[in-house]
Amino acid sequence: MAKTTNYYEVLGVPREASQAEIRNAYRNLAKELHPDHPGGSATEFSRLQEANAVLSDPDRRREHDESLDLAHAADQLAGLNFDFDQPEDELSSRRRARESAGPSLGERLKGRFGRKEGSENGGGFGRDTGRRTRGRYDVTEARWYEPHRFDPEPVTLKSGATSFVGAFLAFIVAGQVGIWASGQGAGVLEFLTVLNPFMFLVYTLVGLVAGYLAFRTAGWAGLALVFVAALVVGGQGEPPSLLRFLTVGIVTLLVVIWLGNRRDAAGR
CATH number at residue 27: 1.10.287.110
Q: Which of 79, 96, 122 is the last residue of a domain?
A: 79
Compute φ and ψ for 63, nearest 5 degrees.
-65, -40
Q: Report whether pLDDT(119) > 80.
A: no
What's the domain range around 216? 157-265
Predicted TM-score of the model (pTM): 0.51
Q: Do 170 and 261 lie in a common domain?
A: yes
CA distance 96 to 111: 22
CA 165 to chain centroid = 23
Q: Which of 34, 62, 79 is the last residue of a domain?
A: 79
Q: Is 183 in contact with 193 (CB distance < 8 Å)?
A: yes
Instruction: Say how many domains are in the chain.
Output: 2
Per residue in 247-258, pLDDT (tens digit) is: 999 999 999 999
The pLDDT, as a whole number, for residue 172 is: 94
Mean pLDDT for 174-193 is 86
Amino acid letter for position 173: V
Is residue 91 included in any domain, yes or no? no
Q: Do 172 and 260 lie in a common domain?
A: yes
Q: Which of 61, 79, 97 is the last residue of a domain?
A: 79
